[in-house]
């Protein structure tokens, strides 16, 4: 029992190649190897158009998922986004719907494996084979995301090589006469077929449920997902064109192994064997990726009290053990009870419904105007992109017929009933939609903003955030006598006014007002008063150290200042940022909060000898280098040089020069002298390069 815990974080083990492989592997399987022959029964040669039409609603869904995933990289993906935007009841619908859609997709892939295994082993009992494979993949996923990610890279590399070989060899052999009557099936049949094959693309965004396990999600997720969708559109478009163009129409219709048939026509028996092996790799890939992604949905819902707590426990290998087991169990149940066409239609319908809600979620987040909603990627063409995604999804669901629509309605009903019976008395949060309602005079959920700020702290700074620069250029106040909070605010505001060319009284009022409203974090002897100002170009910082400590608003009742404790602050970090960039303001605050929570902060803060040392405490060791220029040191070559003549790495800057106990503003014409104490700031790589040249710095 000690090895498990409901709040234990998942390990961040997945890089760009892993995420691309999982996304692509979850996409290029049944849609290419199993569905074309089935789809040809309805659309004939029009399946090429149907596959391209199916990609259209995927595009706004993809942009919306990427925006939400870079704002909230959390396990659960679509479920988490819908829960935090439209509220826990809709989150329940999204979580259950996406979980079941993924389960159906995995089951569909396992059925495909049975069909292609028949090429090698003769007629097999597909269901027992598929169930055995489901159990095997479940055991693999219990070993951790990293192992599954490595398998994906190998599988997808082999898969793309085989598909490139088929398409490259097949395009010159295409018979254009096979495309006659491409539109004869009619618009309704094309749309129905597009809805049917829509499931082919949905793996592209499934990695959003793994975003909590992705390294640098703001960089990795958009690139991996865009590359994956681009790959899928090219492969499906050209691949189905090859199948239609080389397989006689009467043979293509109903063929469950159309890709292998096309390879046999083009390359003979060796071609059929190679493509069949590729198909098996693809089905293994999508089943593995689908099981990996699907198991994170009950994990996320359990964390939020929508499902029993046992599903939220993480095992010793960093995986949600019980969530994986229940997912595999339902996959086995689906395989034992449903046929292939019903599985495909239900999976597509559920996914279309989920993506329509995801597009709506982006609209809600944007219009709710929550400062801490800070996506690393913003969807283009807002809101038209999202409105198109909602409309296109609804049209395709309707065109697929009554059965998918009925099952979708049943899913919504089941989710609502479960929420009312099991979860409603366990959940106290509301979604971002109530922040939108608050603008119209209704209610909002303060806990949501707190949660998003916690995510900002976890994500850290972006490359463009000038944290090191503002710390290096910050003003410093050092007190040994007792001072009131208002007196310190007044002096800090005057210093900020000089740094920002703004009005000191306006700054002071903003800082004091934030404290009165409980917006000034105070913890462990550190206070972070902050304000955002109109017309400010760049964030600025003033740090104050008080030996006796400053009592924060002791005359106010504790209820008036929210959660602020009545303790003395020995470190006060005053931040002023531009009004029009709330995301950067919150990221810098989160970075400051993260630094001051280090165990060594208090000792280093009181141990700093001067303002230079105080800045070093905030910067820490990774992004700065301090040197004392002495004739016998390796840095002696800098003595006598003007700053403009320094040969520094591109991402490094000489930020501070301290001479004879005083700081001077570094300018291009400033000439370095023996005895100067200087500070470089920059990226970790740049600082390491400077250390190799001038030696490890010291604070003497």
Residue 164's contacts (CB-CB under 8 Å, 6 or more residues apart) are: none
What is the model's pTM?
0.69
For position 166, what pLDDT does the model report?
A: 93
- Kindly write down the DSSP assignment for every residue of 271-300, as one continuous string: HHHHHHHHHHHHHHHHHHHHHHHHTHHHHH
Please count the other Cβ atoms lying within 10 Å of the Cβ belonging to residue 161: 12
List the single range of 44-58, 297-311, 468-482 with lowest mean pLDDT: 297-311
Tens of pLDDT, residues 307-326: 888 777 776 666 677 778 88
Q: What is the mean pLDDT of residues 574-581?
A: 88
User: What confidence category does residue 242 fall into, taking pLDDT thresholds of 50, 70 and 90?
Assistant: very high
Q: What homologous superfamily is domain 16-423 in, according to CATH? A: Amino acid/polyamine transporter I (1.20.1740.10)
- Residue 81 phi, psi dihedral angles, 5° rounding: -65, -45
Q: What is the mean pLDDT of residues 139-168?
A: 74
Residue 580 class from Cβ within 10 Å (0-12 exposed, 13-18 middle, 19+ buried)?
A: exposed
Q: Provide CATH code, domain 621-694.
A: 3.30.70.1450
Greater pLDDT, 689 or 172 = 172
Please say if the pLDDT value at position 438 is more than 80: no
Distance CA 264, CA 284 (A): 22
Distance CA 304, CA 472 (A): 41
User: What confidence category does residue 554 fall into, taking pLDDT thresholds of 50, 70 and 90?
Assistant: very low
Distance CA 520, CA 551 (A): 13
Q: What homologous superfamily is domain 461-616 in, according to CATH? A: Mannitol-specific EII; Chain A (3.40.930.10)
List the single range of 9-13, 688-692, 695-699 with lowest mean pLDDT: 695-699
List the single range of 29-43, 206-220, 240-254, 390-404 with lowest mean pLDDT: 206-220
User: What confidence category does residue 561 fall into, taking pLDDT thresholds of 50, 70 and 90?
Assistant: very low
For position 559, what pLDDT does the model report?
A: 40
Q: What is the mean pLDDT of residues 653-674?
A: 82
Among 398, 393, 410, residue whose Cα is nearest residue 202: 393
List the single range of 197-201, 293-297, 388-392, 658-662 with lowest mean pLDDT: 293-297
Distance CA 64, CA 389 (A): 9
For position 315, what pLDDT does the model report?
A: 67
Please say if the pLDDT value at position 354 is more than 90: no
DSSP code of residue 34:
T
DSSP code of residue 28:
S
- Highest-confidence segment of 72-76, 394-398, 461-465, 664-668: 394-398
Collapsing DSSP to helix, strand or coil, 631 comes out as: coil
Tens of pLDDT, residues 493-542: 999 988 888 888 888 888 888 776 666 767 778 888 888 888 888 889 99
The percent of residues in the chain predicted with pLDDT above 70, rounded, is 83
Please say if the pLDDT value at position 562 is more than 60: no
For position 555, what pLDDT does the model report?
A: 46
CB 147 within 8 A of CB 289: no
Please say if the pLDDT value at position 91 is more than 60: yes
Where do the structural domains in the chain lie, given as residue ranges?
16-423, 461-616, 621-694
Please say if the pLDDT value at position 556 is more than 50: no
Residue 586's contacts (CB-CB under 8 Å, 6 or more residues apart) are: 371, 372, 374, 453, 456
For position 247, what pLDDT does the model report?
A: 94
Among 472, 203, 154, residue whose Cα is nearest residue 348: 203
For position 164, what pLDDT does the model report?
A: 92
Q: What is the mean pLDDT of residues 88-115?
A: 80
Among 206, 216, 227, 362, residue whose Cα is nearest residue 286: 206
List the single range of 299-303, 415-419, 558-562 with lowest mean pLDDT: 558-562
For position 426, what pLDDT does the model report?
A: 77
List the single range of 270-274, 344-348, 643-647, 666-670 with lowest mean pLDDT: 344-348
Among 234, 252, 235, residue whose Cα is nearest residue 178: 252
Collapsing DSSP to helix, strand or coil, 571 comes out as: strand
User: What confidence category does residue 237 fall into, taking pLDDT thresholds of 50, 70 and 90?
Assistant: very high
CB 144 within 8 A of CB 320: no
Please say if the pLDDT value at position 614 is more than 60: yes
Residue ranges of alpha helices (H) inside 523-645 are 582-596, 601-607, 611-619
User: What confidence category does residue 452 fall into, taking pLDDT thresholds of 50, 70 and 90?
Assistant: low
Tens of pLDDT, residues 248-280: 988 998 888 889 999 999 999 899 988 888 888
Q: What is the mean pLDDT of residues 468-488?
A: 87
Collapsing DSSP to helix, strand or coil, 673 comes out as: coil
Q: What is the mean pLDDT of residues 176-190?
A: 87
Among 392, 371, 391, 504, residue whose Cα is nearest residue 448: 371
For position 359, what pLDDT does the model report?
A: 92
**With the CA atoms of 41, 44, 45 and 51 taken in that order, what torsion angle do they form, in degrees rounded to the nearest 10?**
-60
């Amino acid at each position: 029992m000690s090895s498990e815990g409901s709040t234990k974080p998942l390990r961040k083990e997945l890089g760009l190649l892993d995420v691309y492989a999982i996304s692509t592997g979850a996409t290029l399987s049944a849609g290419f190897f199993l569905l074309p022959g089935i789809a040809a029964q309805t659309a004939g040669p029009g399946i090429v158009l149907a596959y391209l039409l199916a990609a259209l609603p995927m595009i706004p869904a993809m942009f919306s998922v990427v925006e939400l995933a870079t704002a909230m990289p959390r396990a659960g993906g679509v479920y988490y986004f819908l829960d935090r935007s439209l509220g826990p009841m809709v989150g329940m619908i999204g979580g259950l719907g996406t979980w079941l859609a993924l389960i159906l997709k995995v089951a569909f892939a396992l059925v495909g494996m049975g069909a292609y295994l028949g090429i090698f082993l003769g007629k097999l009992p597909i269901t027992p084979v598929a169930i055995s494979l489901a159990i095997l993949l479940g055991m693999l996923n219990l070993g951790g995301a990293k192992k599954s990610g490595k398998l994906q890279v190998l599988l997808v590399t082999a898969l793309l090589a085989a598909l490139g070989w088929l398409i490259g060899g097949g395009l010159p052999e295409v018979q254009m006469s096979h495309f006659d009557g491409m539109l004869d099936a009619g618009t309704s049949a094309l749309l129905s077929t597009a809805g049917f094959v829509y499931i082919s693309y949905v793996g592209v965004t499934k990695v959003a449920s793994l975003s909590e396990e992705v390294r640098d999600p703001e960089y990795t997720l958009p690139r991996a997902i865009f590359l994956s969708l681009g790959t899928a559109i090219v492969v499906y478009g050209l691949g189905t064109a090859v199948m239609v163009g080389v397989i006689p129409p009467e043979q293509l219709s109903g063929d469950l192994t159309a890709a292998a048939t096309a390879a046999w026509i083009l390359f003979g028996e060796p071609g059929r064997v190679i493509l069949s092996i590729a198909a098996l790799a693809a089905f293994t890939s999508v089943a593995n990726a689908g099981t990996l992604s699907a198991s994170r949905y009950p994990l996320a819902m359990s964390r939020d009290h929508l499902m029993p707590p046992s599903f939220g426990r993480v095992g010793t290998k960093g995986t949600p053990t019980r969530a994986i087991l229940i997912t595999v169990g339902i996959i086995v149940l689906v395989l034992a009870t449903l046929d292939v066409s019903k599985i495909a239609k239900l999976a597509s319908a559920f996914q279309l419904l989920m993506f329509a809600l995801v597009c709506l979620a982006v609209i809600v987040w944007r219009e709710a105007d929550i400062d801490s909603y800070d996506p690393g990627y913003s969807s283009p063409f807002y809101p038209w992109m999202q409105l198109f995604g909602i409309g296109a999804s609804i049209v395709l669901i309707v065109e697929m017929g009554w059965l998918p629509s009925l099952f979708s309605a049943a899913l919504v009903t089941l989710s609502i009933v479960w929420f009312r019976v099991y979860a409603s008395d366990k959940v106290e949060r509301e979604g971002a939609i109530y922040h939108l309602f608050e603008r119209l005079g209704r209610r909002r959920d303060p806990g949501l903003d707190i949660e998003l700020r916690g995510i900002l702290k976890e994500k850290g700074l972006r490359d463009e955030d000038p944290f090191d620069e503002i710390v290096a250029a910050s003003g410093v106040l050092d007190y040994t006598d007792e001072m009131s909070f208002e007196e310190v605010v007044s002096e800090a505001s005057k210093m900020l006014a000089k740094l920002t060319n703004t009005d000191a009284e306006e700054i002071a009022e903003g800082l004091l007002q934030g404290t009165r409203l409980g917006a000034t974090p105070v913890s462990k002897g550190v206070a972070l008063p902050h304000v955002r100002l109109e017309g400010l170009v760049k964030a600025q910082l003033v740090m104050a150290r008080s030996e006796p400590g400053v009592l924060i608003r002791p005359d106010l009742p504790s209820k008036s200042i929210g959660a602020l404790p009545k303790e003395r602050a020995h470190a006060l970090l005053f931040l002023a940022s531009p009004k029009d960039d709330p995301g950067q303001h919150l990221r810098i605050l989160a970075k400051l909060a993260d630094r001051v929570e280090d165990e060594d902060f208090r000792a280093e803060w009181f141990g700093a000898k001067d303002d230079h040392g105080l800045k070093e405490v905030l910067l820490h060791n990774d992004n700065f280098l301090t040197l004392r220029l002495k004739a016998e040191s390796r840095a002696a070559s800098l003595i006598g040089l003007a700053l403009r003549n320094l040969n520094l790495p591109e991402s490094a800057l000489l930020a501070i020069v301290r001479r004879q106990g005083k700081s001077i503003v570094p300018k291009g014409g400033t000439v370095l002298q023996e005895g100067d104490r200087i500070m470089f700031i920059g990226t970790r790589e740049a600082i390491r390069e400077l250390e190799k040249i001038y030696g490890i710095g010291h604070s003497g």
